[in-house]
Structure formats: C-alpha cells, structure tokens
Amino acid sequence: MSNPVILGAKLNMRRESLRTIDETIQQLKEKRDELYESVESAETDEDLQAIEGEADDNDKEIETQESEKQKLEDEIAELENKIEELNQKSPDKQERKDERHMSNEKLEVREAINHYVKTKGQTRDGFTSVEGGALIPEELLSPQKAPEDVVDLSNLVRRVPVNSGSGKYPVIKKSGSKMNSVTELANNPELAKPNISEVPYDVETYRGYIPVSQEVIDDADYDVTQLIADEISDQELNTKNAAIATVLKAATAKAVTGIDGLKSVFNKDIKKVYNAKAIISSSLYNSLDTEKDANGRYLLQDDITVASGKRLFGKEVVVLDDDMIGGADGDMVGFIGDPKAAVALFDRKRASVKWVDNDVYGQLLAGFVRFDVEETDSEAGFYVTYTEATSA
C-alpha cells in the first residue's frame, strides 16, 4: 500500500511546481505581447529578424511550459485519486481534530516537518528535501492574519518568478511613444525603436536562525511547523523589504526644498507614463502631515483605498521607518516614482529550514529564502532628500 505521507508530499511538490509554471507562462505571454508591440517600431529587416527570432524562442518556451503543465495536472489528478482511495480505506486515521482546518496534504507535510525538527534532522520522510533541509510549502507560509500596519514592498515592485539561480530578464523601457495616423496605401511612417535592455539577476540565499527551544521541541502537542512558518514569514518580509529599499535608495539622487520642490518632481521630472508613488520615511511623512496649502487644507489627503490611508498631490503615499528608506532616525528622504517599473524582485519562492552546526550552541535551526532584487529602469524615479522651506 502507498504511504499517504509520501503521497501527500509528492502532491504538494506537484502543486508547487504547477504554480511556478503558471506564473512563468504568464510572464512569457506578457513578453510575447511586448515583442508584438515592438514590431511597429522596427526600422530595418535586421530589427524584424531579431524580434522574430526572440518571438519564436518565446513561443517554443510557452509550448514547453504548457506541455509540462498538462503533465503536472495529470500527475496531480492521479495522486489525488490515490489519496482519496486510501482515505476511504482508512477513515479512522483521518479523524484528527486539526483536519477540520486544513487539507490532508497540508496536515501530512506539517507533521513530517514537525518530526524533522523534533528529531534534529534525523527523520527526513514526508517532505521535499532541499540541500539537506526541509522545504516549507508556500501555503504554510501564508499568515492567517497579517498586521494591518505591516508594509510589504514586494507588492509594489515587479515580481518575477524564476526557476534558475541566475539569468537575464528582458525589459522594454516605457518611452511614451505613440503611433502616427496614415492615409490609405501610404508608406508606414518611422516609429521610435523599442528600448530593450537585459537585466542580469543572480539569486542569493539568505539565512536566519529560528528560535526553537528544546522545551518546544519536546512538547509533542506543540505545532512546531506553525512557529517556523510564522518566523520565516516575518524574517522573509523584513529581508525582502530591506533588499528592495536598498535598490530604491540607489535611484538617481535629487535634493528638494519645500513643497514646491516636491511638486516639481511629480509634475516635471517624472514622465507621465509612470505610475508614480511616494515611498517616504516616517520623518518626512511627519513633516508633510503638518503642511497646509494656501487655503488652509492639509496637503496629505485621506484616501481609504490605499494602504497608508493618505495621498500627496493625488499620489499614493507609503511610509517606511527612517532607517529603512534612509540612513538614520530623522532622515527626511524617500523614493518618488514608479517602483514597479524601477525594481524587479526575482523570486525562487523556496523557503526551507535546516539544522546547522554552531561552535558555541551545538545545532541551530536556520531558515533560508532565495531571491534577488535589481533595478530595471533608472528613469522611473528619484531618491529625494527633503529640506523644509524657510519662512520669509
């Protein structure tokens, strides 16, 4: 008889792979649309041949991914049928109280990871192994209730799921180009060439220790996996936010003075093709929150449709700690621009835990995440340093 724990782990692996393939296919289709749009801007046969070659390669990759997707869907259906058959044969083994809140496969993988932690890595059955550690399924990392005041910068930038540790990602820069009207049978007018650049990425591994006491490990009734999932989610959020903020701070520097200086950045310096936002330090937010216009109205307008609840000149405001978007407490700085166009997060989506040696404490449980953050468009925003205007 097949082991339900193993089947559950296999099913979880296939579902994780299917999610990754779906995201990859979506990215490839978006790239295909961009390539088709760039045909109108081609000026020579060489340009057309280059676009055609890249489009053909892209279409072949879509076909490959679609074929792999179908294969995974068939395997998932087969595994689900096997698990259902086992559940019908052994109903008593499935009547645990936790099953009212989670699917069979989640429970099986969760118990396997609990056992891995409690045996200090000696038991490795029932979960996906990554470099000697246990892969934490993405669905277990989703927090049941995230604090409302937590800012996740990865939601503001372009997220690119990747399957390899390094590579190049093609980016077509926003140019604001437009088509020209032509009369019937007239020659096609010259259009602006698309500016296609390749952004290299190199996924890095980040590690942090998970505080798991021996008392928790020895307590058979304690859900160690939930503790690990919560801690990894928190550390992953902080790590990605810091990496994204580092790239935002590397944007073109600009010093501005007073409200008029900020208005100039929004009105003149950033092209209208970009969806500009203000990602600012809490000190800058505090300064702006007390400013009023000539009619005595506060500059920051209330807007419940955005996370921060505020807008500046009609643009969304995102507030970060001073030492994250700046260098120290009191820094009045921020990124003004389109973060989705300016920054890309290349995400392996592979969180795992592993027992590692420590010279002082023996063994420590470490959590790992893998991603890279790169600038994709240097013209999409500015890193501003704000100085309050002096009264005349």
Report which residue type is found at 68: E
What's this model's pTM, rounded to 2 decimal places? 0.59
Residues in the chain: 392
Coil, strand or helix at 370: strand
Q: Rounded to an integer, what distance in angstroms lies between the CA atom of residue 200 and that of residue 278?
A: 27
Confidence (pLDDT) at 324: 92
CA 64 to chain centroid, in Å, comes to 25
From first to last of its 392 residues, the chain has per-residue pLDDT tens of: 466 667 777 877 888 888 888 888 888 888 888 887 777 777 788 878 888 888 888 889 999 998 998 898 888 888 877 777 766 654 444 444 444 445 555 556 566 656 666 555 555 444 444 444 545 455 544 444 444 457 889 999 999 888 877 888 777 766 556 666 666 666 665 655 666 777 888 888 888 777 666 665 565 455 666 667 777 778 888 899 999 999 999 999 999 998 889 999 999 999 888 889 999 999 999 988 888 777 777 778 887 777 767 888 888 999 999 999 998 899 999 999 999 999 999 988 666 666 666 555 555 677 778 899 999 998 899 999 999 887 65
For the stretch 213-271, pLDDT in tens is 666 556 545 566 666 777 777 888 889 999 999 999 999 999 999 888 999 999 999 98
Which candidate, 24, 9, 37, 29, places its Cα nearest to that of 125?
A: 9
* 8 Å CB contact between 223 and 112: no
What CA dihedral angle connects 318, 319, 320 and 322, to 10 degrees? Answer: 140
Q: 242: Cβ–Cβ under 8 A, 6 or more apart, which residues? A: 324
**DSSP 8-state assignment for residue 268:** I
How many Cα neighbours within 13 Å face the side chain of 94?
18
Domains identified in the chain and CATH numbers = 151-177+186-392 (3.90.1690)
Instruction: Kindly report the backbone phi and psi dihedral angles of residue 177, in degrees, each rounded to the nearest multiple of 5, phi listed first.
Output: -65, 155
